[in-house]
Amino acid sequence: MLIARITRGLATTVGSMALIAIIVIMMIPVVVIVVMSFAADRIVIFPPRHWGLDHYTSFVESDYWVAALRQSFEISLPSAALALVIGVPAVFAMRNTRNFPLPGLFQAIGASPLVIPSVAYALAVYVFYLDVHLTGTIIGVILIDSALALPFVLLIVGSVYDRIPRELELVAMSLGASPTRAVVGITLRLMLPGIGAAFIFGFIAAFDDAVFINFVGGPTLETLPKAIYDSLQTSMAPLINAVATILMVGTGVILSLASYWRYTLSKRSSEASDKLRVPANG
Amino acid sequence: MRGTGHPTTAMRAAPENNYWISGLSTRVSAAFMVPYLLLCGALIVYPLVRLAAFALGSGKGFGNFVSFFENNVEVRSLGLTVLDSALVTLCVLILGGFVAWCMRTTSSRFIKFSLAVAVFVPLWMSAITKIYAFTVLLQRMGIVNQALQFIGLVHEPVSWLYNQPVVIVGIVYQMLPYGVLPLYVTFSLIDLDLANAAEGLGASRLYAMISVILPLAAGGILVTGVMVYMISVGYFLTPVLLGGATSPFTASLISRDVFTYYDLVEAAVSGVLLIVVATVVAVGAYLIIGKDRLGKVVRG
Amino acid sequence: MNKAILQLKGITKTYGEARILRRVELEVQEGEFLTLLGPSGSGKSTLLRMVAGFVLPDQGQIRLDDRDVSYVPPGERQIGMVFQNYALFPHLTAAENIGYGLKVHGWTRDRREARVREMLALVGLHDLGRRLPRQLSGGQQQRVALARALAFGPRLLLMDEPLGALDRELRIQMAGELRRLHRDVGATFLYVTHDRDEAMSLSDRVAIIRNGSIESIGAPASLFAQPPTAFVASFFAGHNVVPVRLVQAHADATATVNCEGRDLRVATGLARVSGEQANLVIPRAAIALSAKAAEAVRIEVEVLERLYLGDVVEFTGLAPGLGRLVGNLDAQSLGETIDVGTKVPVYLDPARCIAVAFQDA
């Protein structure tokens, strides 16, 4: 009995220490980067002796880095949009068509970029692009990035759609709405937060990619992640700390927004009808 | 005389099994699916198939694979990647499971919040940014070395980078959040009172966990593990940047083949083998736990 | 004289092997409150959905205002419908929900707003128009659903177990509201439920549906006093039903049955008896602890259960040969207490009993 209590106490202490260690280790890279971004020393010194916004101004004034940022947006925004335009109708079609053959399989294919080993997948796309002369083209990168964003559209939009009771469309129709009006005005309208969240996740997937841009982007397309990658192989300018911090904060903000849309708004909009179930035949 | 319907609209109400539902006509459904099928076909299915054909078709054909396995360096690197990914998966499952379990069972909102922050804030950094951070920390003139020298533990900078272990640590660091999330979902679905019931019947805490909680979580743990494994096996940035271009991982091998030696066939062979490994693991998991439970975790 | 606003002729519906509805015939009079009452699985909800237009009949015809609407889409039938779980649009306010059908039909803004205000007042939700469904209680959501269904003035309102999700107090209150609405609005109400108390208190007529066909239809009082079948007697009225031997059926709507060795002459009311067996319907009020009439039949029962319910005591006894009998005894005049397990004599008043055709339970 006493031994059990001692081991239990020991386990709790060890456990707590392990938790603290994990928390600290996970946060160290984040903290270091953010702190270093506000450093103004000549050399890399931690903790910094001088503080300032020098790195941020260098970033904003650097043509190279600003161009990379713009390039990233020029690629990621269309990619996410394309994934939405292709994915949302597909979600509708796969769930709304009677006798759709193997919807699970088609959805799995679209979601597979999440789990296919990326180095092999990037290589495969590179070989393919060589054939069709798409290497180094912006359209080529946009296409593969939209394939990377597609899984998020399928999963998020799909799950939001499933939570909306089909009965609402029927009710709308019984009140006189045409089927199209019922679907667009009710179901689609209720799906909007989820669609927004999917766009954001897809955008981040495309924006942050450093693997595919490497294989397929060629020498001229320089996105922000690619610029960071290159600098890791050559020389690392300390202003990258500022870049990294800005990226992190930006990502954090829009991810929080996406989560808010996805979990709060989408949940709320189906909450009132959550108890709806298909009535028994009786 | 069947229903009047609305023949001009894309979505119509149609009697189907004698119900009025808003379903899509086949024409519209096909129209919606075509772009999707094009994208999936052209950018997911075809490239992979093409890669396999390329590896089997050019050069010595199937002999490419034979000579791969005859080449010590290449076989070692594949084996290394396979095993190290397994190690990564194990670490992620253990650490991630521990964190997820604590998050699930703690009654302290502070702890829950801190863990959530510690696990998910790093997600705000993209992969390349995390690797950049690691480099800043671990390079010769990096922060860790400075700190160690400052304290006096070492007198010379230690070479933390460009070896195997740092790659493993790096991948574990990046994959931990992706492990915690599905494991947390799995644990959320388990009624904690079950363990209490077991303890009430006389089981020790450890025995209660192993005999009650673990079997219920097994499916979710397996699925998470498979997912982590498949992603780790395909990691490119970490082996190449933290391990160095000459590191023995398959990803580095492919990188060298493509960017230095321009030997695409070699690279294709490695790539195909990686996909085979990932597929075998996935199929194995599917066979073990079945499709429904897979869907449940994925949907979470 | 009221004309029939809704006619169902020969409605049949089959799902795979199961016959859900068998040649159902029903006429609903304009302006009446008719309830379809039946146990779960009886087909009542399917029938209602057919009238609404969400389900199509395999065979038969649905005529609304003498117009065949069997295959007309729901939106074109000018029928209002209220679902059990309200099905309110979660992203629209109460006012917008109510106005939805009006907007779809192209009403101008002013007209719409006036009508919505009217409807909100009608259901007693004056200031809550701006709220979203999730900000409303169950009872309030129910009223919004009603207002929405009634907004464009349908002549027929369908309700599918609308009070099922409410707690007891609320249900009683809402039932009263529904009666008032029916009087005020003047539309025909077609109501589906499995709750006999609701059916009894709300309806002008009750149609009892069982296994896909309508067993009886009539005013609640009539069905209660003179149940035409054993099922109606037990399911709707809650009377005791015991099997007895039929001695003879007479021409004057009476029959002689043999119960506990005695021949009793009882009324048959609307029922028809024939054959060797019959069921004897014994209303609870026909059971007393003392002989009220000379022809009272004395029966020894073993007390199985007694439930104190305030002003009555519900008493369950086991009579050998007859089975369980349930009676309501006046709590005040129950002199000495009757314990469970004791044997007491009770008296049946045959004048209040009815003989009906024998039916398997």
Look-up of token digits 């009025």: B20
- Domain span at residue A203 reads 68-234
Query: Model confidence at B7, in pLDDT bands (50, 70, 90)?
Result: very low
Is B215 part of a structural domain of the chain?
Answer: yes
Closest alpha carbon to A126 in A213, A43, A254, A66: A213
- Residue C193: closest C-alpha in chain A: A282
Nearest chain A residue to C149 by CA distance is A175
Side-chain-side CA neighbours of residue A35 (13 Å): 17
What is the SS3 assignment for A261?
helix
Per-residue pLDDT, C271: 79
* CATH, residue A174: 1.10.3720.10
CA distance A252 to C252: 88
pLDDT of residue A97: 77
Q: Going from the first residue of chain A to its last (282 residues), give the mean pLDDT of each consecutive group of 10, the final group possibly shorter.
A: 68 85 93 89 76 89 93 96 96 83 88 93 95 93 96 93 84 84 88 94 95 92 94 86 93 92 74 45 32
For the cut 50, the answer to whether the pLDDT of residue B11 exceeds it is no
On whether the CB atoms of residues B190 and B225 are closer than 8 A, the answer is no
C-beta atoms of B20 and C74 within 8 A:
yes
Q: Which residue has better confidence, B5 or A47?
A: A47
User: Cβ contacts of residue C27 below 8 Å, gap of 6+?
Assistant: C4, C6, C7, C8
Considering the domain boundaries, does residue A240 fall inside one? no
pLDDT of the residue at A276: 46
- Bridge partners for C36 per DSSP: C192, C207
Two tokens, residue B153 = 């533990």
Question: Residues C149, C122: contact at Cβ < 8 Å?
Answer: no
State how far the Cα of C64 lies from the Cα of A17, in Å rounded to an integer: 75
Q: How far is A160 from chain C (nearest CA, A)?
A: 14
- Residues with Cβ within 8 Å of A136's Cβ and at least 6 positions away in sequence, in order, are A216, A217, A218, A219, A220, A221
**Averaged pLDDT for residues C299-314:** 85
Interface residue of B18, B94, B124, B254 to substitute, partner A, most A CBs within 10 Å: B124
- Inspect the interface and report whether the beta carbons of A273 and C87 lie closer than 8 Å: yes
pLDDT of B210-236, one tens digit each?
888 888 888 889 999 999 999 999 999
Binned at pLDDT 50, 70 and 90, residue B1 comes out as very low
Distance CA(B118)–CA(B173), nearest Å, equals 11
Closest Cβ–Cβ partner in A86, A106, A244 for B35: A86
- The per-residue pLDDT for A47 is 76
Does any CB of chain B come closer than 8 Å to the CB of residue A141? no
- Asked if the structure places residue B223 within a domain, the reply is yes
Nearest CB partner across the interface for C134, out of A178, A271, A279: A271
CA-based nearest residue in chain C for residue A276:
C85
**pLDDT score of C247:** 86
Note the pLDDT of residue A52: 86
Between chain A and chain C, how many beta carbons pairs sit less than 8 Å apart?
Answer: 94
Q: Is C242 left (phi over 0), alpha (psi -120 to 50) or beta?
A: beta
Predicted local distance difference test score (pLDDT) of residue B3: 37
Q: Is A124 on the interface with B (CB under 8 A)?
A: yes
Collect all residues of chain B within an 8 Å Cβ-Cβ radius of residue A206: none
Region B153-166: mean pLDDT is 84
As a whole number of angstroms, the distance between CA B13 and CA B33 comes to: 20
Looking at residue B23, its pLDDT comes to 63
How much is the pLDDT for A278? 36
Whether residue C45 and residue A282 make contact (CB cut-off 8 A), yes or no, is yes
B14 within some domain: no
Split into its structural domains, chain A has a count of 1
The 10 Å Cβ neighbour count of residue C114 is: 12
Q: How far is Cα A271 from Cα A263, in angstroms, rounded to an integer? A: 11
What are the chain B neighbours of A15 within 8 Å (beta carbons)?
98, 102
A228/A237 Cα distance (integer angstroms)? 9
Per-residue pLDDT at B42 exceeds 70: yes
Contact A176 C101 (CB under 8 A): yes
Nearest CA in chain C to A269: C90
Contact residues on chain B for C55, CB-CB shorter than 8 A: 18-19
Contact call for A281 and C41, based on CB within 8 A: yes
| CB neighbour class for B186 (10 Å; exposed up to 12, middle 13-18, buried from 19) | buried
* Predicted local confidence at residue B300, as pLDDT: 41
Residue of chain C whose alpha carbon sits nearest to that of B20: C54
Q: Which of B:55-94 have CB within 8 Å of A?
A: none
Give chains near A: 3+ CB pairs under 8 A.
Answer: B, C
- Name the closest residue on chain A to residue B20, using Cα atoms: A170
Mean pLDDT of chain B: 84
Task: Quickly list DSSP for A145-200.
Answer: HHHHHHHHIIIIIHHHHHHS-THHHHHHHHTT--HHHHIIIIIIHHHHHHHHHHHH
pLDDT at B273 exceeding the cut of 50: yes
Residue B73 has pLDDT above 50, yes or no: yes
In terms of Cβ atoms closer than 10 Å to its own Cβ (0-12, 13-18, 19+), residue C310 is: exposed
- Inter-chain touch A282–C44, beta carbons under 8 Å: yes
Q: Which chains touch B (3 or more CB pairs under 8 A)?
A: A, C
Q: Kindly report, residue by residue over C8-44, the tens digit of the pLDDT.
A: 999 988 887 888 899 999 999 999 999 999 998 888 9
Provide φ and ψ at C281, rounded to 5°. Answer: -95, 120
Yes or no: say if C329 and C312 are a contact pair by the CB < 8 Å rule.
yes
Chain A segment 49-78 residues within 8 A of B by beta carbon are: none
- Per-domain boundaries in chain C: 4-225, 230-357
Does the N-terminal peptide bond of residue B177 adopt cis geometry, omega within 30 degrees of 0? no
* DSSP-based three-state secondary structure for B284: helix
Name the pTM for this structure: 0.80
Query: What pLDDT is attached to residue B158?
Result: 81
Which fold would CATH assign to domain C4-225?
Rossmann fold (3.40.50)
Residue B204 predicted with pLDDT over 90: no
**Model pLDDT, residue B172:** 96
**Contact call for A281 and C100, based on CB within 8 A:** no
- What does the pLDDT read at residue B285? 86
pLDDT at A54: 87
Beta strands at C79-82 and C156-160: parallel, antiparallel or unpaired: parallel
Which residue of chain C is at minimal alpha-carbon distance from A182?
Answer: C104
Tell me, yes or no, if A89 comes closer than 8 A to chain B by beta carbon: yes
* Structural element, H or E, at residue C300: strand C297-308
User: What's the pLDDT score for residue B277?
Assistant: 94
Q: Give the model's pLDDT for residue C1.
A: 52
Residue A46: inside a domain: no
- Hey, are the CB atoms on C56 and B13 less than 8 Å from each other? no
Of the candidates C344, C304, C311, the one whose C-alpha atom is nearest the C-alpha of residue C326 is C304
Residue type, C205: R
* pLDDT recorded at residue B294: 53
Which range has the worst mean pLDDT, A241-245, B15-19, C104-108?
A: B15-19
When divided into structural domains, chain B yields a total of 1
Q: Provide the β-strand partners of residue C224.
A: none
Q: How close B4 gets to chain C, by Cα (Å)?
A: 7
Percent of chain B with pLDDT over 70: 88
CB contact under 8 A, C56 and B1: no
Q: Dihedral, CA atoms, B76, B81, B84, B86, nearest 10 degrees?
A: -120
Answer yes or no: are the C-beta atoms of C319 and C301 closer than 8 Å: yes
Per-residue b or e along A108-129, where b marks 16 or more CB atoms closer than 10 Å to that residue's CB: bbbbbbbbbbbbbbbbbbbbbb
ipTM of the predicted structure? 0.88
Share of chain C above pLDDT 90, in %: 29
**pLDDT score of C308 more than 80:** yes
Does A282 contact C46 at a Cβ distance shorter than 8 Å? yes
* Lowest-pLDDT choice from A44-48, B19-23, C327-331: B19-23
DSSP 8-state code for residue C3 = P
Does B274 sit within 8 Å of A120, measured CB to CB? yes
Chain A nearest-CA distance from B54, in A, is: 9
> Could you say which of B16, B129, B143 has the minimum Cβ distance to residue A247?
B129
Angle between helices A138-152 and A103-111 (to 10 degrees): 130
Inter-residue contact C5 to C188 (CB < 8 Å): yes
Contact of C338 with C330, CB cutoff 8 Å: no
Is residue A227 assigned to a domain?
yes
Share of residues in chain C with pLDDT > 70 (%) = 97
CATH of the domain at B81: 1.10.3720.10
Collapse the DSSP code of C63 into the 3-class scheme (helix H, G, I; strand E, B; otherwise coil) and give the result: strand
Q: Chain C residue closest to A189 (CA)?
A: C91
Q: Look at A127 and B268 and tell me if their CB atoms are within 8 Å.
A: yes
Residue-level pLDDT at B269: 92
Least confident of A38-52, B52-66, B115-129, C58-72: A38-52
Q: Are C223 and C270 in contact (CB under 8 A)?
A: no
- pLDDT tens string C241-255: 988 888 888 888 888
Under DSSP, is residue A77 helix (H, G, I), strand (E, B) or coil? Answer: helix
- The distance in angstroms from the start CA to the end CA of chain A is 59
